[in-house]
Amino acid sequence: MTRRRGQLAHARMFDSFKDVTAVNADGIMRESGMDFRVDHRHLVYYANGEDKHAFSHKAIINAEDSGLLGVVGKDYRIVDNQTVCNAAMNIAESLNGRINKAGTMHSKSYAKGSRIGFHSDLGGFDVGGDEMRKQMFITSSHDGSSSLTIRLAVFRLICTNGMMAFDDSVGNCIKIRHKGNIRMAISKAISKIRLAEGFFTKTRHDLERMRTREIHIQDTVRFAERLFPKTKTAKTGDRLVVTPQTAHKRSRIVELYKEQDLPRRDVYRLYQAATEYVDHDRTIRIRKSSDVGSTAFDNITAGTGNNLKKRAYELCMEMSE
């Protein structure tokens, strides 16, 4: 049963990853526990006194220990760990970086390894005295839960933690479905993501622009109201209301804005308050303790946390015009 547990999402997002030092695919996969072959098996069910094949679906397994990694449709194409690793290394090297973290993750009720991920640090830049780190993530699944995804992002380093800035409007996130000619799709994606390196330049300019727009406390209140709008409830029907939970979220954003250890009262400070709320202050849902890392990773890179940060980014850019 799903339970609620407060977690520092960013601090836990790499719990499923391992630091890797190898410079070749075999070494990276071995160090991260990803050095297993993935295969498929026919699904068999029992009906009318006999075994029958389920032709519409198939099982994806770890060929080394027969662990079940997923049940997928018949048209699903396996993208093996080596292929994803090679793509990750290729992109990282083309952007003057290298793979420094990799790992196997859980998903739903399937065995560890049903999802895999790679991370690379691509250098940094400075915004108003804050150190920003350019990042690349590549993730894929063997259970059909997600596409092979290549994403560029930015971390703001604060002590030992960080927060991400997102702007998906410039092609910094590419998804490849597990169907058709996978190798050709990956080749096209690699060429496309190299062009998206301009995302880092654009993000830097956007954040610098946020720093030029000074704001008052009333602006932060309006921002929080737009970030967390009124909602419908079972009791109010079609009438939109501010629930106690929404009111708390709004007030917390304003509090974090006031607490930000930055000298200026500007939109940049407000954006960082929003990302701090998402990654450090907000409760995330987990199924069991072993899922904390993968849940935190999903929340920050592709889940509701990511969506909130994207919305905050859009609102802050609007305020900076």
Global pTM value: 0.84
Per-residue pLDDT, 169: 59
Mean pLDDT in residue range 138-149: 91
Judged against a pLDDT cut of 90, whether residue 4 lies above it is answered with no
Cβ–Cβ under 8 Å, residues 97 and 120: yes
- Bridge partners (DSSP) of residue 62 are 38
The two tokens of residue 310 are 């994207």
Under the banding of pLDDT at 50, 70 and 90, the label for residue 234 is confident
pLDDT beyond 50 at 245: yes
What is the pLDDT at residue 162? Answer: 59
Q: Is it the case that residue 160 has pLDDT exceeding 50?
A: no
Q: Per-residue pLDDT for 164 more than 80?
A: no
Q: How much is the pLDDT for 1?
A: 30
- Average pLDDT (127-138) is 88
CA nearest to 172, candidates 134, 212, 207: 134
Average pLDDT over residues 89-111: 87
3, with CB counted inside 10 A (0-12, 13-18, 19+), is exposed
Lowest mean pLDDT among 8-22, 112-126, 178-192: 8-22
pLDDT at 291: 61
Which whole number is the average pLDDT over 50-78? 90
**What are 274-285's pLDDT values in tens digits?**
988 887 777 766
Using DSSP's 3-state secondary structure scheme, residue 299 falls into helix
Q: Which of 134, 125, 132 is nearest to 92 (CA)?
A: 134
Average pLDDT for the chain: 85
